[in-house]
Amino acid sequence: MIAKNIKGKSFKGCVSYVMNDTATLLEAEGVFTDNTKNIIRSFAMQRSGRKEIKQPVGHIPISFSPEDRARMTNDFMLRLAKEYMEEMGIKNTQYIIVRHHNADNDHLHIVYNRIDNDLKLISVNHDYKRNIKVCKKLKDKYDLTYGKGKEKVKREKLDNPDKVKYYIHDAIKSVLHNCKNPADLRFALQKFGIEIEYKHRKTTNEIEGVSFRYNNISFKGSQIDRKFSFGNLKKEFERNIKIQQEQAEKEQEQQKKQLPKVEQQTENKPKNPSIGGIELTPEQWKTLSESGFIFLENMNRSDSNGKFSSYVFLNDEKNKALFSKNNPDEFVKYGKYEMRVRDKILIEAGYIAKAKVKWYGISSYAYPYLWKSNRSDVEYKESWSDPRIKKEKKVEVKPKQPTIHKKNRGRKM
């Protein structure tokens, strides 16, 4: 048994969809049921008493597992629907309960007026959490089959926003086992076009929530799946770290067994470098050392005043980390060129940058060297050759004149 609570603006659209050719009207309350138009008019008449309410339509589809099909008589489905409404606080209002026969699984639709018979608004606050509890209660009460998860949902039949919701779900599931921190998950989902926004506590700046966005449709992690709330994601990160550590320890033990005793005694692998108190993974360090960038969460500020999150990249010498709020490879107008954010930051930090600039007219890029003599300078200097390489002065070497010995002078050869 799975239910979903939907709010809407139009009774006409909702009732017309529910009362299709395959529909069986199981029960109605407070509406004329001789035809679809009169059902709509009945809802609209009561709705007119609270015109300021923008979403008066309550719509609840309820689906049941194929394993329970033999039990799904009209009377039993109606009983489940009415108990569900009672538990959800949907009382003293107009409603219709309709069974559909147009899908592989048995399901019904409840359409109700959120403006009740006393013109009071039926609250839907926290209906997501209440819905989960009520469905579990009814499944336990009537020994209904628990679903085997979202894997059984037919994605091709979904429309937005459910289509996006399941797309994000499948993407997270495919990459989560390789993620050991929030930044890993952010970058892993970039190839799917999915953006992540982490919510931080104001007092400690620690992450307390997460939401995912795709095609301008956004869901909280817990709305996609309870497993994807940030609390549960954090547990998964810790689990992945533990698994990786255990695998690394096993590999080290196997390697030690194969090494000579002298090598075992002298073996001393360097510790992974860290930035802002965050120890980098080998993959992160490789990315940085190859002139890439990473995103790190909850780094310590140098002045010990709280924490911060930022994109990170290195200077050319790979001995200094620089930080950026924006993607370092995005382009920004700076001086006479449009260059990467990372090049602008390097110049302002006093480094010589081999900048990647947009070269207008030929739809390509150019790579001038740009720098400032003093960091306080307004304008930067430019060179098409590396100014750090000193040109050697060419010294002309004159050929030596042949030496003529006295004893050979005047002698014919």
- Identify whether residues 26 and 109 lie together within a single domain: yes
Kindly report the number of other CB atoms within 10 A of residue 338's CB atom: 14
Contact 94, 46 (CB under 8 A): yes
Contact 60, 3 (CB under 8 A): yes
State the Cα–Cα distance between residues 135 and 157, nearest whole angstrom. Answer: 23
Where does a domain end: 235, 256, 289?
A: 235
Residue 195 belongs to a domain: yes
Q: Does the structure show a pLDDT above 90 at 45?
A: yes
Type of residue at 237: F
DSSP-based three-state secondary structure for 239 = helix
- The predicted structure's pLDDT at residue 172: 92
- Identify whether residues 190 and 131 lie together within a single domain: no
Q: How confident is the model at residue 413 (pLDDT cuts 50, 70, 90)?
A: very low
Q: Does the structure show a pLDDT above 60 at 270?
A: no
Task: Give the C-alpha distances (Å, rounded to integers) separating 70 from 64, 66, 74, 88, 379.
Answer: 11, 9, 11, 26, 79
- Identify whether residues 325 and 377 lie together within a single domain: yes
Q: Assign residue 92 a region (left: φ > 0; alpha: ψ between -120 and 50; beta: otherwise).
A: left
Q: What is the span of the domain harbouring residue 314?
A: 277-383
Strands (E), 274-410: 274-275, 278-279, 294-300, 307-314, 321-324, 331-334, 337-340, 353-354, 357-359, 364-366, 369-371, 381-383
- Identify whether residues 288 and 186 lie together within a single domain: no
Nearest to 51 by CA among 117, 121, 112: 121
State the Cα–Cα distance between residues 122 and 125, nearest whole angstrom. Answer: 9
More confident residue, 254 or 19: 19
- The predicted structure's pLDDT at residue 301: 84
Structure-token match 């009382």, residue found: 91
- The predicted structure's pLDDT at residue 109: 95
Which pTM does this prediction carry? 0.41
Contact 360, 331 (CB under 8 A): no
- Identify whether residues 128 and 168 lie together within a single domain: no
Task: Dump pLDDT digits (tens) for 246-258.
Answer: 877 777 777 666 5
- Identify whether residues 290 and 185 lie together within a single domain: no
Q: What are phi and psi of 312, to 5 degrees?
A: -130, 135
Total number of domains constituting the chain: 3
- Which of 235-239, 261-265, 272-276, 403-407 has the weakest average pLDDT? 261-265
Q: How confident is the model at residue 403 (pLDDT cuts 50, 70, 90)?
A: low
- The predicted structure's pLDDT at residue 263: 41
Residue 22 belongs to a domain: yes
Task: Dump pLDDT digits (tens) for 64-120.
Answer: 887 788 888 999 999 999 999 999 999 999 999 999 987 667 889 999 999 999 999
Domain with residue 181: its CATH number is: 3.30.1300
- Identify whether residues 143 and 210 lie together within a single domain: no
